[in-house]
A and B are shown apart, each in its own frame.
Chain A
Amino acid sequence: MPNIPNSWIGRSTARVTADGGEPGGLDERDGRTSAHSDPERAASDEAVAAAVAAVTEDDLDPAESGSFALSGESGTDAHGRGESDGGDRADGTVVVTSSGTTDDRTDVGGEDDPLETVDDSGSDVDERTSGPAADSGPDDHSGPHDDSGPDGGVVLRAEGLEKTYGSRLPFGRAVEVLDGASVEIRAGEVVGIVGENGSGKSTLMKALVGALDPDAGTVETSGRVGWCPQEELLYDRLTVRETFRLFGEAYDMDGDEVTEARDRLADRLDFAEFLDYRVDQLSGGNRQKVNLSVALLHDPDVLLLDEPYTGFDWDTYLAFWDLTAELRERGTAVAIISHLINEQERFDRIFELADGRLSDVTEEGSSQASDAGVR
């Protein structure tokens, strides 16, 4: 059994683009359906830029958010919303239970629901190779981005997450952060999770990715997971190039794969000239680019981003959304956590985390969404 990480699983099938070509270049567009032609995209960007110009300083908090507050009226759904709701289910699942156990499986048939859960008493780590993926050889490229499976393409499901930070000191205060938070994210969906400072967004993200054990509840993920934490969690004295090499090893990528993905991301997010810089010598924005790129390096099926565009300049911010749109068109599920979600139209659904619970505020638009930090 390959050394599969406990928190995400490598499918035993290769991933292909919509045209059936070679796996996953982020900048590959051929064969993909896009809702907008380039002129439309340009028009959308112009509208966004105009909206930025109109925003008052009170609406901006670049030091904190690194992003811009915009109204959601730049108009169009620029990203082919809903187009990716078709395709095979991912084959591997990861289940984290309230006891913190993780169940990695690329299953050998027999299970109806590829998102499997172990009960709270489970302490084992189970790795299996699954269903159609396991049965087929490496040339069978059934990808995760077809949601024709029994779960309608759900690639991440969290149910009833609870987390309270206790104090080890006798008179310390316990802080209840999550209180039954639940969410489902489907393939090809861009989901925003918004909430006030201290509402528990990063705690939720850590619980979703398996970096933090919830006190109760379950998290199930399907396919490879990429995680971009709010704090970079990188090695300060390694160069950017060395950082990618190290994480590439973690993702079980060979040198050529790492080089190809690294160069593509560096070009896309414009940090190629810094590849030989040490991480601690990078600016905050460039560190964040590397942080995000590490999460994208292995072409994940589920991408969990915690305040991903903090520190980005405008061009990089736009490049980030172009990249997100491409990922979504290919069926990657993207969850973006932010205290302030800009450009509501870029998201398929928006949740607000308040009082430890998640509620869907997508349709409520104006008042509640505005109160929740959605603009």
Chain B
Amino acid sequence: MTKIRLETVPELIEKAGEIRKYLCRCARYAGNVHLAGPLSATDVAVALYYKYLQFDPADLENPERNMFVLSKGHNGVLLYCMFCDMGLHPWDELYENYNKIGHSFGAHPNRKYVHGVEVSTGSLGHGLSWCIGFAHANRNEGINSRIYCLLGDGELEEGSNWEAIMYAASHNLSNIVAIVDNNQCSASFMAGENIKWNSMADCWRAFGWDVREIDGANMYEIDRTLANLPPVNLKNPGKPVCIIANTIKGQGVSFMMERPYAWHICGLDDEKLAETEALIDLYTAEQKKRA
């Protein structure tokens, strides 16, 4: 049985390596999955699901649970890999029946089909507004758990995000933690090539958020940042927190990181799978040496 609660950073790094390999196996066996985006979001997602969410597959609807909203819904396969690893769903269903008619693991996650998914997403720019609803509900009931939202940098081009960003800070919803997987690439463009940010961090700050910009591929830094979030204080709330996790799309697989847009949605053959698995092993070993 896989351990679903990990404490140390080396354990989390090891797990991130495993999940990256599972993602690549999905690209091999299921084919045509979003791959490069999930690879860049893997470290943050692993830190949350195996440690900070205190995710309990046996108690998914506990009103006091920490919640996670995958605003970049096209990364659903990343959730699926973690859920299968935790024994919540069978691997066969993922490898053999991904995005197949009548089966649960779709190209975007559906909360009714996949236990563990909080809300069905796919259309971009919705996640933070979901979190606002959750945050008010929790505050109304005195529940001081956290609500985490994972967004993409490309996704932030959607205007609806900024309605939510403005609102959450205005109402001191400091039980929300937005994490931007700042992977520097959308489906067509590298960061700054088309839509330009003068500074993403300054934009969030100007809207009233407490912003922490980190190396989103360094598990030590991710762990430190999540461990040091200010406690949720419902009576005297502060600012909501935005973590800008700087990553590279395709993180962990060097040839994907070099041309990430080419691996946005892809499949892998046996030879390419063997190559990526070897590269991920090397990458994971390197990560453990960082501190």
Q: Do A and B bind each other?
A: no
